[in-house]
Amino acid sequence: MSARTRAVVAALCAVVVTGCIEGFDPPSLITKSRPIGARVEVAGDADRPWPAPGEVAAVRWLVVGPEEPDPLTWGFVVCPAILTPTGDRFCAGEPFGFGFSAAPAVAEPTLSFTVPPAEALGPLEEILVLGIICVDGTPAIDMEPFDVRCEGDGAQGTLVTFAIPLALEGRTNRSPTIPADAITFDDGAWAEPVGTVPLEGCASVAGGTELPSVRAGADPVVLHLQPVASDREIYTVGDQMGRETLTFSHFVTSGELERQFSVVDDDTADVTVEWTPPAVEDVSADGTRVRFHFVVRDGRGGIAWTARELCVAP
């Protein structure tokens, strides 16, 4: 890969990392389709996000929208990564994996790949995924010079970049978890929805249980998230030991969350977040189904996510 291409890739990484908040809506409010997380799963060990040289792995993106999911297309490449003294990452060699879907589909964008053997990677400790996720467009990737874009009338695209640490010399990581009973609504059980359905009306049920319900314009209610203490793994960096900090991100399709992030660095942490229901004029006559997305990260590439739904009655 040429020096010019490496420079463009480094610039792309900087743009993606720092340019993810757009417009004036709270970042926690989902107003359009966008990716909010990427998860790596090693073949045969889905809870391990760090592949070893020679192993097969996949990275998939969670893309959410304000209503029913948009059909998506995507294009990705994966290459050996090098980290510069300034903190930029770029491809240190030719890509060894490609993922490309030009036919619109309601599915999680996914890239499967095989990590090169250790002798091919040399001293490198990370690999880098670059690409784009498109709505109403076709992905295009040029390597020399490096360029990724969505083509077509009305095409919208989100650039994505994701650095994946490699499991080397006994170092590894496990993704955090969100158990089924880890999230409650107003102190009541809150089941994960079954399947993906349009957010129209409130007549349907989730897993055989009627959706929790609140009135439009009501006072804020409390969402409770129970972290799993054992998910905060102990790890070493050089001759220093540390323990993971978990970060929860919360997103919603309507109403207003108290905040977007909750940080857990204490085993006794009790995470609560207030959510204010939407106003009466923002709710349909037969009720509005609201979807919440919860994402937890361990700060070292591990991630898990889940969703919940409720009904806002007029």
* Nearest in space to 187 (alpha carbons), one of 217, 226, 218: 226
Q: Are residues 192 and 160 part of one domain?
A: no
Q: Are residues 223 and 83 part of one domain?
A: no
Residue 102: partners with Cβ closer than 8 Å, 6 or more residues away: 73, 138, 139
241 pLDDT above the threshold of 60? yes
Domain-located, residue 177: no
Asked whether the beta carbons of 103 and 10 are under 8 A apart, the reply is: no
The residue from 115, 138, 165 where one domain ends is 165
pLDDT digits (tens, 9 = 90+) for 63-73: 999 987 789 99
Q: What is the DSSP letter of 280?
A: G
Q: Are residues 229 and 136 part of one domain?
A: no
Domain-located, residue 178: no
Asked whether the beta carbons of 139 and 99 are under 8 A apart, the reply is: no
Token look-up 């055989």 returns 208
* Nearest in space to 42 (alpha carbons), one of 54, 30, 34, 32: 54
DSSP-assigned beta bridge partners for residue 302: none
End-to-end CA distance of the chain: 58
Q: Are residues 198 and 99 part of one domain?
A: no
6 pLDDT above the threshold of 90? no
pLDDT digits (tens, 9 = 90+) for 176-195: 999 999 999 988 889 887 65
Enclosing domain of residue 13: 3-165
User: Cα dist. 70→197, 202, 290 in Å?
Assistant: 12, 21, 17
Beta strands 110-114 and 205-206, pairing class: unpaired
Asked whether the beta carbons of 198 and 68 are under 8 A apart, the reply is: yes
Rounded average pLDDT over 268-287? 90
Q: What is the pTM of this model?
A: 0.87
Number of domains in the chain: 2
Rounded average pLDDT over 41-56? 97
User: Cα dist. 151→12, 26, 105, 139, 250 in Å?
Assistant: 18, 29, 16, 6, 31
Token look-up 């409010």 returns 29
pLDDT digits (tens, 9 = 90+) for 66-116: 987 789 999 999 999 988 888 788 888 889 999 999 899 988 999 999 999
* Strand, helix or coil for residue 16: helix
Q: Are residues 154 and 194 part of one domain?
A: no
Q: Are residues 7 and 139 part of one domain?
A: yes
Q: Taking all residues of the chain, what is their mean pLDDT, rounded to a whole number?
A: 86
Q: Are residues 149 and 33 part of one domain?
A: yes
* Strand, helix or coil for residue 57: strand
Rounded average pLDDT over 234-248? 90
CATH number at residue 115: 2.60.40.10
Torsion sign across C-alpha atoms 113, 12, 70, 189: positive
**How many alpha carbons fall within 13 Å on the CB side of residue 222?**
9
Cα–Cα distance, 236 to 103 (Å, whole number) = 44
Domain-located, residue 176: no
pLDDT digits (tens, 9 = 90+) for 133-176: 999 999 999 877 888 999 999 899 999 999 999 999 889 999 99
